[in-house]
Amino acid sequence: GNSVTQMEGPVTLSEEAFLTINCTYTATGYPSLFWYVQYPGEGLQLLLKATKADDKGSNKGFEATYRKETTSFHLEKGSVQVSDSAVYFCALSNDYKLSFGAGTTVTVRA
Amino acid sequence: DAGVTQSPTHLIKTRGQQVTLRCSPKSGHDTVSWYQQALGQGPQFIFQYYEEEERQRGNFPDRFSGHQFPNYSSELNVNALLLGDSALYLCASSRGATGPNQPQHFGDGTRLSIL
């Protein structure tokens, strides 16, 4: 079956630091890959996506590249802000449902 | 353009009771999925409705049931509530006719607490 493993948190950073959250997956076929973000008290928001190998998803300064050879989809941002503090979820879909990782809590300090 | 809306926001029930949660999809979306998110964990897929039928189901007992209406809105029903059913229940919508692997848009969820 499908599974997603992502870096355990919590992660605490200073403003303008570099952020990376590792994500690896197990799936049959050719899944689409996603990063979702959850701010306190809210639902999930789609951050970025990639639908095939070597695709790079990007949004709001975040990037992730679909690496089929290493079954990975690591999230990166070059310079984080306090407003990036949230829980980040890696997810995949190769049918009609999403399978999520456990989430990584990121706290950015001014 | 209204996003996914869920009601109620919070709910408190006791063991053995039944509960109904409601969801209206984003405008233009015809598919609704439900997820259970326990504290500190990622969401777990419960089921998905498309064209008023359950299209796919996750590993949840029959106590969890649902319905989709002609206007694409949906309900999640949980019978014989257990303490372990305490969670955030998320509704997500997408365009089903465009095939699988589509991004899903989430509501803010219903926080269900079982006493």
**pLDDT tens column, B82-102:** 999 999 999 999 987 656 667
Inter-chain CB proximity A102 and B35 less than 8 Å: no
Nearest chain B residue (CA) to A93: B101
Q: Which of A85-89, B9-13, B38-42 has the lowest mean pLDDT?
A: B38-42
Strand (E) or helix (H) holding B109: none
Q: Which residue of B has its CA nearest to A31?
A: B101
How far, CA to CA in Å, does A16 sit from each of A57, A79, A84?
21, 4, 11
Q: What is the pLDDT of residue B99?
A: 62
Element (H, E) at A38: strand A32-38
Among chain B residues, the shortest Cα distance to A100 is held by: B42
Chain mean pLDDT for chain B = 93
> A44-58, B32-46, B50-64, B92-106: lowest mean pLDDT where?
B92-106
**What letter represents residue B36's amino acid?**
Q
Task: Look at A96 and B70; give whichever has higher pLDDT.
Answer: B70
**Which residue of A44, A89, A95 is the best one to mutate when testing the B interface, meaning the one whose CB has the most B CBs within 10 A?**
A44
What are A10-46's pLDDT values in tens digits? 999 999 999 999 999 999 888 999 999 999 888 899 9
Residues 6 or more apart whose Cβ sits within 8 Å of residue B50:
A96, B30, B31, B68, B96
Query: pLDDT over 90 for what percent of chain B?
Result: 85
Q: Which of B27, B89, B80, B82 is nearest to B58 (CA)?
A: B89
User: Is A69 in CB contact (< 8 Å) with chain B?
Assistant: no
